[in-house]
Structure 1
């Protein structure tokens, strides 16, 4: 019985450690490449990190990939979706000192720029 209790405690501690590790954001490089994005919040959530060579191979097939630009505080400050060698859309982000999104400038496929400002309490949603 003591062995079973000890095993449960060890498993619970290991699970708690694994969850904490999963939630710890990794340090981003200043520029990273991604195969996709998810969600409709801002800043956009980039998914499927790939290498520059993989991004070039995707582009050679005529498909899209994304480029993320990160600041020293590990925040996404710009993302660009590339399609067929051209910018398909772009977001440029500005943040409040507390880390909340202050402003986003979006450029759509036609080159039209839209700027949205947010209060510190606002939750930003995706837009073109």
Structure 2
């Protein structure tokens, strides 16, 4: 699935510390006009978050891209911030970190 064919939704924030991020407090498109900061989430057909962008004043400040194992567990997380340096985390089929 590509970003172009995924379901894009908007959120106020996220909860928890575990990956993938859990986006919370969904916003409507109209709500975005009054916000300086929000999260844009892209979801696959199984409702799994595949890309998350923290948007601040129209610029992407934080980016997470996720891939999943066939069993639904997180396989890989690519994370970059303002410095644009990419961190790649890899997980086994039980969701345990194996590198990063």
TM-score of the two chains, using structure 2 as the length reference: 0.85
Relative to its length, the structure with more helix (as a share) is 1
Check if 1:115 corresponds to 2:88. Answer: yes
In 1, the alpha carbon distance for the partners of 2:30 and 2:84 equals 27
Instruction: Select 2:39's aligned residue among 63, 66, 69.
Output: 66
Aligned residues of 1:78 and 1:90 also touching (Cα < 8 A): yes
Instruction: Select 2:71's aligned residue among 86, 95, 98.
Output: 98
In 1, the alpha carbon distance for the partners of 2:52 and 2:15 equals 13
Could you list the per-position Cα deviations for residues 20-74 of structure 1 after superposition, in whole angstroms to 9, with x for gaps in the alignment?
xxxxxxxxx8011001111101110101100122123202xxxx10011000111
TM-score of the two chains, using structure 1 as the length reference: 0.68
Q: Which runs of 4+ in 1 moved over 3 A?
A: none
Q: Once superposed, what is the RMSD of the aligned Cα atoms?
A: 1.7
In structure 1, the partner of 2:3 is none
Relative to its length, the structure with more strand (as a share) is 2
How many residues are matched? 93
Instruction: Select 2:49's aligned residue among 59, 67, 76.
Output: 76
Q: Which runs of 5+ in 1 are unaligned?
A: 1-28
